[in-house]
Structure 1
């Protein structure tokens, strides 16, 4: 009987091996021959050739966007141009080490009531900057962008280059120190920001919502802290001499992030843990909302194991089905109710309140490939690339009906999709 069982098990295993090989070959063929992928990659290169601003709806070069397409820009620009953009961010660095959101030529900057108050620095004669103070990802985004630049070009000497009286490496650490000195919650051992949806930079109060005000409600969230974790890892790899200081900070931050933000029962991240009370009604259960973008970045930061990643993906797919959205780039689900954000563009399924952003969906695809979910990555990538082909452009975001909105040449979307396709192609070739 035992011999028979062993034989049956061997036959079963052999049959399983026979069945998986054709599936893998089929997937490889589907990926390598996908005409949408070829179109998207070609289109992405064309788009980044035309500049560095976030998209045709933006005059500025934004660091959180540049961070996601600097590797693609390296395919079509000499490294000196890529490096010069990074220098501008460092030249406009604040006296406390903080990093701006974006920069624009001085002659195009318009100071106006209700608009940006521009930031100037004697180190930078050509450009001025602005900063959406409700967000806490600018410093991490710049460190990540420098990391990608160095890894892509091999230009380690850039880290030793002096800007003013500090090297690039020291300025990177200075920006991270800003977060510890000015955006740190001692209670939670995490960085804080204003109440914004998922990864967004529009807070609940104020018709515009990008500046901290007296009505701001402070909290810790997954996106900001995951971005910080990635930046710390990048800094330690680029500048090993700084690891002694940052290793314990990184380990404690990762532990606290999971301790306070991971909902073990529901296997999801809690949207916000508030420092001074929630701005929303007591009857509103904010923890019903699942943050797609922050979860994707948390996976990139190494916070979730494979089982948790698969559960997160399943929830994202279920949310897409329930909402009717086009892809797992869906910012969050369900959206915040009408009127919970004063900004008129933040209606349910509008902009960052449930809009569908390839810019973050593409990052989830990258992580699925990285962690071995290649079939799932392929399946979830298809609707993102299809709509680029249909619309002949990389739109900023899409409604729950898959209607394109915002900038039509959104370079962040181009950057993450190009990288996702390359990673997928590399995975099936292996």
Structure 2
């Protein structure tokens, strides 16, 4: 049943300031029939495979990172483990990690943007080099796999001349060796819209080339902080090396990327100049996804998190958007990206609404105690799953579904968000 705006506002005003109010909210959460239905639908979607969704043939690591916990509900550990091992078998000679893999026989002769490995002849690999989150996504996914299955033997599996544990460190070293700005003490990637994988300079926009404008952003660096937290927990013997690097990254991210006056993260620090017009004030743009991941990385205080929540809600209202899955606001003006998928405004990663990141923000809101706010903000996301009969990749500013209708990343993060609510509610009821 769709909730009224008055109901949603009542939850926000509730604030859960007393024991009785918390119990009342816990009762609402545990009795929420949409939560139950969305979880059942998510389980049904993930049972059908590991590719990102219909329309995608690859198993992408940035997607798998967000639904492996859901997959663990329906697949045996050995299948989850095998997918992870494929990424390590296809690891580059410099330690880099591919974006995704697909059966080699499915690749036509005309498709040349693929890599191959003698250690894994069954698959062809693909990497969008504008991103700097494949390595960190793989570390996070291994961590989640170990947590949900208890299987630490994956760390000792030998692939070529290295164990998985050694390959995990090698992947992190790739970022330090190949994607690190010594001036800022942070990693860089191509210019993209927040967490996106399309650069503005030319039509396809997924490969770093001579046209690329290298830039530092919060998303990539927050992902690395999380990955290093995961790494040192899985491999305590690496703490001496990686924990100081993690701590310095966190410090530098706040120093260089947090605008203390505007109380938001700036979009980019450019290393080679900006691809946008000189009179364009990019800092007016608010990055929702990168902010959510920064909160997950522990980079903001609770007061700053509350300010961020309020700012997101305000900008969603200004945009007329359906949820805090909004990628960014205001969007980049039409024509600023040559790839037409980023035009017009509010399209795809340029102001589209993605549950894939919005539900991650919901999880952090619950984790940091903003449960009533989180419940109010998740309702538009669960409502549209039922209404549109699917976990769509993204939504337009007027809440029309777009892209894959079985986008497993959306199913995964929404399922985890609901479980996070239920765990909180059950702790209140105890």
Question: Does residue 235 in structure 1 map to residue 231 in structure 2?
Answer: yes
Per the TM alignment, residue 20 of structure 1 is displaced from its structure 2 partner at its CA by 2.8
Give the total of aligned pairs: 413
CA RMSD of aligned residues (A): 1.4
Note closer, same or farther for the CA distance 1:256–1:381 as it changes in structure 2 (3 Å cut): same
Instruction: Name the CA distance, whole Å, in 2 between partners of 1:135 and 1:64.
Output: 10
Match of 2:160 in 1: 164
Could you tell me whether the CA contact under 8 Å between 1:111 and 1:117 is conserved in 2? no
Q: 2:384 aligns with which of 382, 387, 390?
A: 387
Per the TM alignment, residue 29 of structure 1 is displaced from its structure 2 partner at its CA by 1.8
Question: Does residue 79 in structure 1 map to residue 87 in structure 2?
Answer: no
TM-score after normalising by structure 2 = 0.94
Larger RCO: 1 or 2 (CA < 8 Å, sep 6+): 2
Deviation string for 1:279-301 (max 9, x for gaps)? 11111100000000000000000
Match of 2:413 in 1: 416
Query: Secondary structure at 1:219's aligned position in 2?
Result: strand
1:37-76 paired onto structure 2 within 5 Å: 37-76=35-74
Q: 1:32 aligns with which of 14, 30, 34?
A: 30
Instruction: Name the CA distance, whole Å, in 1 between partners of 2:57 and 2:35.
Output: 29
Q: 2:286 aligns with which of 287, 290, 303?
A: 290
1:173-322 paired onto structure 2 within 5 Å: 173-322=169-318
Per the TM alignment, residue 185 of structure 1 is displaced from its structure 2 partner at its CA by 0.6
Instruction: Name the CA distance, whole Å, in 2 between partners of 1:308 and 1:57.
Output: 38
Deviation string for 1:308-361 (max 9, x for gaps)? 000001011011101111100000000000000001010111111111000000
Query: Secondary structure at 1:119's aligned position in 2?
Result: coil
Per the TM alignment, residue 26 of structure 1 is displaced from its structure 2 partner at its CA by 2.1
Match of 2:108 in 1: 110
Instruction: Name the CA distance, whole Å, in 2 between partners of 1:19 and 1:202.
Output: 43
Per the TM alignment, residue 111 of structure 1 is displaced from its structure 2 partner at its CA by 4.8
Question: Does residue 139 in structure 1 map to residue 174 in structure 2?
Answer: no
Match of 2:86 in 1: 88
Could you tell me whether the CA contact under 8 Å between 1:111 and 1:118 is conserved in 2? no
Deviation string for 1:76-97 (max 9, x for gaps)? 0000000000011001100000
Per the TM alignment, residue 183 of structure 1 is displaced from its structure 2 partner at its CA by 0.5
Per the TM alignment, residue 206 of structure 1 is displaced from its structure 2 partner at its CA by 1.1
Deviation string for 1:21-50 (max 9, x for gaps)? 442232112111111111100000000000
Could you tell me whether the CA contact under 8 Å between 1:327 and 1:384 is conserved in 2? yes
